[in-house]
Amino acid sequence: MHPFDSTRISLAHGAGSIPAVGFGTLIPNAVAAKQAVKVALEVGFRHIDGAEVYRNEDVVGEAMHEAFEAGTVKREEIFVTTKLWNNNHRPDRVKLAFEASLRRLQLDYLDCYLVHTPFAFQAGDEHYPMNERDEPIYDKDVTLAETWQAMERLVDEGKCKFIGLSDVTLDKVKEIVAIARIQPAVVQVESHPYLPEQELLDFCQQHGIVLLAYAPLGHGMEPRITNDPVIKAIAQRVGKTPAQVALAWAVQRGTAFLTTSTNPVHIRENFDISPLPEDAMTEIQHGITTNLRLNAVVETGMPGFVPRNP
Ligand SMILES: NC(=O)c1ccc[n+]([C@@H]2O[C@H](COP(=O)([O-])OP(=O)(O)OC[C@H]3O[C@@H](n4cnc5c(N)ncnc54)[C@H](OP(=O)(O)O)[C@@H]3O)[C@@H](O)[C@H]2O)c1
């Protein structure tokens, strides 16, 4: 069986494709983020995922630019995603935010632009406008549908190939699918063996939308997916690491994923994944009962991995 490193999933009913194996840039230290992106590209990752709110698009751009210059990879060989932050949901701000991201990334087009969360925050320069009770200040004067129409115009203008949503519930995806002129190509949500999001995945697959799983290793948090007895037993049986089993499961069930590491050994390991036997897929589906959402962003629009008890 072929390894998964070159697997691509069709987007927008064949208008393009996305690598199943992707690398995320949610790495707070800028030096570490730049180095990690360079290693990821050298190892073979061909999807790089960023966001305005990670505040490091500039170093991600430098890393990609240096990889282009060094001949490691060509621009057209990589799939680059970034995201519109909550303070830029008003239609007149969407294009400006998009162009600022492009500039920081040193690119002249994006493969995919996502609405980072469905929550509109007060428009302005503050990423996290907060009230006196330390709650986010929401913008009641813009709907997600209006933001989506501004995203569609970016595709019309040819600077962005695909658009999508992130941190959405199934209901929100349905809401946008119902009104979209250009359908979401990608829905990026937290998903791992402790949060399969099967209903959302089924809906996405029925509508030709790729579910892009973030935190496929549970963000390295407790309870660690890489310590799960079912995953560990499969890893031992197939001669792979627990991380490789969790990532292979993600691809084999039809999702794309984004993993992150600053450790070159882990970066290499996470790219070197191959299919699991069918019985291993069934064991993960039925043998794991832990159900855990780690990132609370879907509730308020405020990102953050919160330690939780199973
Ligand atoms: N849309 C959203 O709201 C949203 C939210 C969160 C994340 N994301 C995206 O998704 C990306 C991935 O999310 P994530 O960082 O939570 O992914 P993840 O891969 O589940 O977790 C990364 C953590 O796992 C550890 N790790 C990585 N490879 C490992 C391995 N082979 N063995 C053991 N531990 C390993 C890393 O530590 P080491 O560095 O020590 O390897 C790191 O602590 C982000 O960078 C971002 O692009 C999007």
- Measured from the Cα of 214, ligand 1's closest atom is 10
Measured CA to CA, the distance from residue 170 to residue 232 in angstroms comes to: 31
pLDDT value of position 11: 97
Please report where in the chains the tokens 């609370």 appear, as a residue. 296
- Measured from the Cα of 216, ligand 1's closest atom is 20
Task: Enumerate residues lining ligand 1, CB below 6 A.
Answer: 24-26, 49, 166-167, 188, 214-220, 226, 243, 258-263, 266, 269-270, 295, 297, 303
Probe residue for ligand 1, chosen from 23, 244, 261, 269 as the CB with the greatest number of ligand atoms within 8 Å: 261
- Measured from the Cα of 294, ligand 1's closest atom is 16
Q: Is the peptide bond before 223 cis (omega within 30 degrees of 0)?
A: yes
Asked if the model's pLDDT at residue 283 lies above 70, the reply is yes
pLDDT band at 79 (very low <50, low <70, confident <90, very high): very high
Question: What residue's CA is closest to ligand 1, atom 24?
Answer: 220
Contacts of 242 (CB under 8 A, 6+ apart): 225, 226, 227, 228, 231, 232, 235
In this prediction, residues 43-57 reach a mean pLDDT of 98
Measured CA to CA, the distance from residue 137 to residue 145 in angstroms comes to: 20
> Ligand 1: distance of its center to the CA of 141 in Å?
34
> Ligand 1: distance of its center to the CA of 53 in Å?
16
pLDDT value of position 65: 98
pLDDT band at 2 (very low <50, low <70, confident <90, very high): confident
Measured CA to CA, the distance from residue 92 to residue 80 in angstroms comes to: 23
pLDDT band at 310 (very low <50, low <70, confident <90, very high): low
pLDDT value of position 308: 66
In this prediction, residues 139-164 reach a mean pLDDT of 98
In this prediction, residues 282-295 reach a mean pLDDT of 96
- Burial status of residue 227 (CB atoms within 10 A of its CB: 0-12, 13-18, 19 or more): exposed
pLDDT-above-90 percentage for the chain: 96
Asked if the model's pLDDT at residue 115 lies above 60, the reply is yes
pLDDT value of position 1: 58
Probe residue for ligand 1, chosen from 249, 260, 265, 295 as the CB with the greatest number of ligand atoms within 8 Å: 260
> Ligand 1: distance of its center to the CA of 25 in Å?
9
For domain 4-300, give its CATH number from 3.20.20.100, 3.40.1350.10, 3.30.465.10, 3.40.50.1580: 3.20.20.100
Question: What residue's CA is closest to ligand 1, atom 27?
Answer: 261
pLDDT band at 116 (very low <50, low <70, confident <90, very high): very high
> Ligand 1: distance of its center to the CA of 218 in Å?
7
Strands 256-259 and 110-115: unpaired
In this prediction, residues 274-297 reach a mean pLDDT of 96
pLDDT value of position 305: 93
pLDDT value of position 239: 98
Q: Are 177 and 207 contacting, i.e. CB atoms less than 8 angstroms apart?
A: yes
Average pLDDT over the chain, rounded to whole? Answer: 97
What does the pLDDT look like over 201-237, one tens digit per residue? 999 999 999 999 999 999 999 999 999 999 999 999 9
Extended beta strands in 159-307, E state: 160-166, 186-190, 210-214, 256-259
Q: Which two tokens stand for residue 49?
A: 């995922």
pLDDT value of position 87: 98
pLDDT band at 40 (very low <50, low <70, confident <90, very high): very high
Residue 54 known to be catalytic: yes
> Ligand 1: distance of its center to the CA of 118 in Å?
22
Question: What residue's CA is closest to ligand 1, atom 31?
Answer: 266
Question: What residue's CA is closest to ligand 1, atom 8?
Answer: 214
User: Where exactly are the structural domains of the chain?
Assistant: 4-300
pLDDT value of position 307: 78
> Ligand 1: distance of its center to the CA of 258 in Å?
7
pLDDT band at 3 (very low <50, low <70, confident <90, very high): confident
